[in-house]
Amino acid sequence: MIAMILAGGQGSRLGVLTARMAKPAVEFGGKYRIIDFPLSNCINSGIDTVGVLTQYQPLKLNSHIGIGIPWDLDRNVGGVSVLPPYEKSTDTEWYTGTANAIYQNLAYMESYHPDYVLILGGDHIYKMDYEVMLDYHKSNHADVTVACMPVPLEEASRFGIMITDGHGRITEFEEKPEHPRSNLASMGIYIFSWQTLKESLIALKDQQGCDFGKHILPYCKDAGRRLFAYQFNGYWKDVGTLGSYWQANMELIDIVPEFNLYEEYWKIYTKGDIIRPQYVSSEGSVDRCIIGEGTEIYGEVRNSVIGPGVTICKGAVVQDSIIMRNSRVGPGAHISKAIVAEEAQIGDNVEIGIGEEAPNVLNPAIYAWGLATIGEGTVIPEGMKIGKNTVVSGKTLPEDYPDGFLPGGGALLKEGGELP
Amino acid sequence: MRALGIILAGGNSNRMKELSEKRAIAAMPIAGSYRCIDFPLSSMSNSHIQKVAVLTQYNSRSLNEHLMSSKWWDFGRKQGGLYVFTPTVTSTNNWWYRGTADAIYQNLKWLKESHEPYVIIASGDCVYKLDFNKVLEYHIAKRADITIVCTECHDDDPNRFGVLRMNEDFRIEEFEEKPMVSDSNLISTGIYVVRRRHLIEMLERCAEEGRYDLVKDIFIRYKNLKRIYGYKINTYWSNIATVESYYRTNMDFLRPEIRDYFFNQYPEVYSKIDDLPPAKYNPGNMVRNSLISSGCIINGQVENSILFKDVYVGNNCVIKNSIVLNNVYLGDNTHIENCIVESRDTIRANSYYCGEDRIKIVIEKNERYAF
């Protein structure tokens, strides 16, 4: 079995976090990036041939994956291949949909003569043994197996819902139904028998924006193929919105988190480019946190997820926040309930996450949950105050903040900043 | 590249006490995330020395495991790379390495088949960063036969090293190995530069005479015959081959200027990557002036200490002025003060260890159950 990971999506609901990188490259859990989870699942499941389909802002993703060393995917045969869209002699196009992207890489898959192809999204947090799913697929003599998980019925209308008969065979699907008739939500993980996949991709090659959920699965069902739902009951988290992204990070700091990174079994691998240990000074204090390598803490940190190489200066207080790689929080700064992306520079005595909540002026659906979101490489000058439901990005200057204050719901997007 | 690298990592020291029961000194963990050999290896890699041999002998399992893949130091090359040489039995030789010179002599074929004009010899039990190219340039400029990198010894006993005296031209006039008394505090760092052909000649002659030590039998004996120069370094250098100096070297990393020198300034020190999760600080922890490595879970109090990778600190533990090596489980209410806790150990709850006038080494060898 070979795996194809769809990692080309922007993830626009993560707002400024995905301004310069695709969603699978966004940092998660103090040292990882989101794509580490499906990649580690692949190698832990014994899959050593993985294609990663990229399209939107692939630089971070490319340099993170490299030749696949951290996941032991640097192989003589197979291994990891990054697959961007490419020019063809006729009808060159971008990846217009999930299935279209796979279709454009038929030749890649064919070169490995697979019996089965695993199709994955690159943007979920979970541990899953795909081999167990493959066994299920084989024992059902299925053509397509869709991984599903039970969700609360009231939330089911946000998902693609599978309706099955008593043996797990899918009889119907509903895409984001208003009145769901089942609570089995598709996780966007499919196993196809190769012939079925190839045949249906070719049959639907002219379909605009060809998508697995919308086009391929209905096509297969109508063609009388055997579609099965594989029920997964472990931890699985969609981190598609800033709220759920923040929530999933915060769950990791529970004493015994539901999603446990500390188990010997089923490790998650990542490119660890920072090796040095972290340091907590005599004035520093840390409570209920996870902290990445090389971080130096001279201030106070509570209930937070801190990435590698971060500096929290003396007198700074950080709580309920996510601070990513190589950021610096200046002396005396107060940060609460914020997401601070990589390489950000928070000036001395800056206050973030204060005052009243107000709907965000730029996009109230993205920047909500009372979170202040600070983009990659953002510079915030000394003494500025920033409210809730706000977004700040780029090299900001004191004159960008009227009265030194960006009130709740404010947005400040500028060019430049501290980019590596 | 103009030079080969040889790292002597076979030695044992009874002054490491129980710590050397498990591993060669070169494999001793340093500063939370590293092992001692990472420092010479990274310096070689950063000096663009592309072909390096590590000579191991004593208790080398741990070291071999660390060096299993050479890619972490960028030695995964088609040209050159990392060679690990342990003594082997052949039809003509069934000896262990009988000394540093013998260790290199037994691998003379490798030296002869290389084409690099110079050899840089370093030992695996020292912590430093050094640009070997600068030493090599100095060696060439001085038209030296042998260059010995030396440093002033301040907080260690100079008499456990080779003690030197140089004239105003930096030519070495006196060289004594581990003297009983000496009035010089200029010591050899165990880093030497020598022409490859020259080294081969000296080693062959030395072997014929049944002598096996690089310092005693070659450098000191050739002192007046050859042009031996000293290259003095003022940057951080520390040998870890006694319990006291091992402890002190690790504790040095709690000083901001030492951390800045090794961790933030170019060039970097590389090490094997372990896939451990970020360190976790649970409620009830209190960490002060300490280095914490990845995979640690902390529920108790840690002060002026270094926790290596994957250490679990139970509730109400107190760890003070101590070093806890990799993969240790400390049960609840344990008190550890002025100690080095040996790796892969499980310390029972309510234990009390305190090094009174000297550093205590804690080894319990308990079975670990799944918690």
> What pLDDT, on a 0 to 100 scale, did the predictor assign at position A159?
85
Which among A122, A130, A211, A137 is positioned nearest to A175, based on CA atoms?
Answer: A211
Q: What is the pLDDT of residue B370?
A: 57
User: How much is the pLDDT for A273?
Assistant: 85
Percent of all residues in chain B with a pLDDT value above 70, rounded to a whole number: 99
Report ipTM (2 d.p.).
Answer: 0.92
pLDDT band at A202 (very low <50, low <70, confident <90, very high): very high
Q: Which two tokens stand for residue B5?
A: 């690298």
B64: Cα within 13 Å, side-chain hemisphere: 11
pLDDT digits (tens, 9 = 90+) for B280-293: 999 999 999 999 99
Q: Are B219 and B192 in contact (CB under 8 A)?
A: yes
Angle at A161 between CA A157 and CA A164, to 5 degrees: 145
Does residue A81 or residue B370 have the better pLDDT?
A: A81
Nearest CA in chain B to A292: B278
Model confidence over A348-399: pLDDT tens digits?
A: 999 999 999 999 999 999 999 999 999 999 999 999 999 999 999 999 999 9
Task: State how beta strands B162-166 and B172-177 pair.
Answer: antiparallel
Residue in A262, A288, A292 closest to B281 by CB? A288
Asked if B122 contacts B190 with a C-beta cutoff of 8 angstroms, the reply is yes
pLDDT band at A419 (very low <50, low <70, confident <90, very high): low
Q: Do the Cβ atoms of B275 and A270 come within 8 Å?
A: yes
Contact (CB, 8 A) for B146 and B193 = yes
**Per-residue pLDDT tens digits for B299-341:** 999 999 999 999 999 999 999 999 999 999 999 999 999 999 9
d(CA A280, CA A286): 8
- Nearest CB among A70, A255, A262 relative to B277 is that of A262
Distances (CA, A) of B56 to A324, B24, B99: 41, 8, 12
Task: Tell me the pLDDT band of A417, cut-offs 50, 70 and 90.
Answer: low
B275 touches chain A (CB under 8 A): yes
The answer to whether B56 and B9 have CB atoms below 8 angstroms apart is yes
Mutant choice from B34, B250, B289, B292 vs A, greatest count of A C-beta within 10 A: B292
Whether A51 contacts A108, CB under 8 Å: yes
Least reliable range by pLDDT among A32-46, A98-112, A171-185, A242-256: A171-185
Predicted pLDDT of residue B89: 84
Q: At CB < 8 Å, which residues of chain A contact B?
A: 29-31, 69-70, 253, 255, 261-262, 267-270, 272, 275-282, 284-294, 305-306, 308
A290/B275 touch (CB, cutoff 8 Å), yes or no: no
Q: Examine the pLDDT at A420 and tell me if it is beyond 60.
A: no
What does the pLDDT look like over B155-188, one tens digit per residue?
Answer: 788 888 999 999 999 999 989 888 888 888 999 9
The pLDDT of residue B16 is: 87
User: Residues A356, A408: contact at Cβ < 8 Å?
Assistant: yes
Given a cut of 90, whether residue B59 has pLDDT beyond it is no
In this predicted structure, what is the pLDDT of residue A418?
Answer: 59
Name the residue facing A261 among B31, B277, B307 (closest C-beta): B277
DSSP conformational letter for B309: T
Q: What is the pLDDT of residue B33?
A: 94
pTM of the full structure: 0.93
> Do β-strands A311-312 and A322-323 pair in parallel, antiparallel, or remain unpaired?
unpaired
Alpha carbon of A321: minimum distance to chain B alpha carbons (Å): 15
Give the separation between CA B345 and CA B364, rounded to whole angstroms. 7
pLDDT digits (tens, 9 = 90+) for B183-224: 889 999 999 999 999 999 999 999 999 999 999 999 999 988
Residues 6+ apart with CB under 8 A from A341: A16, A17, A27, A324, A327, A373, A374, A375, A376, A377, A378
Taking CA atoms, what residue in B is nearest to A254? B282
In the predicted structure, residue B11 carries a pLDDT above the cut 80: no
Cβ of A255 and B71 within 8 Å? no
Q: What pLDDT score was predicted for residue A60?
A: 93
pLDDT digits (tens, 9 = 90+) for A203-251: 999 999 999 999 999 999 999 999 999 999 999 998 989 999 999 999 9
**Three-class SS string for A158-226?**
HCEEEEECCCCEEEEEEECCCCCCCCEEEEEEEEEEHHHHHHHHHHCCCCCCCCHHHHHHHHHHHCCCC
**Residue of higher predicted confidence among B31 and B179:** B31
Tens digit of each residue's pLDDT (9 = 90 or more) over B239-280: 999 999 999 999 999 999 999 999 999 999 999 998 999 999
Average pLDDT over residues A104-112: 96
Sequence-distant (6+) residues with CB within 8 A of A161 are A173, A174, A175, A177, A180, A181, A182, A183, A184, A185, A186
| B352 shares contact with chain A (CB less than 8 Å) | no
Put simply, the answer to whether A285 touches B271 (Cβ < 8 Å) is: no
CA distance B284 to B172: 57
Test mutation, A278, A281, A313, A326, chain B, max B CBs within 10 A:
A278
d(CA B344, CA B328): 5
Q: Is the Cα dihedral B75, B78, B80, B82 positive or negative?
A: positive
Which whole number is the average pLDDT over A290-297?
96
In chain A, helix, strand, coil percent, each to 5? 20, 30, 50
Residue type, A309: G
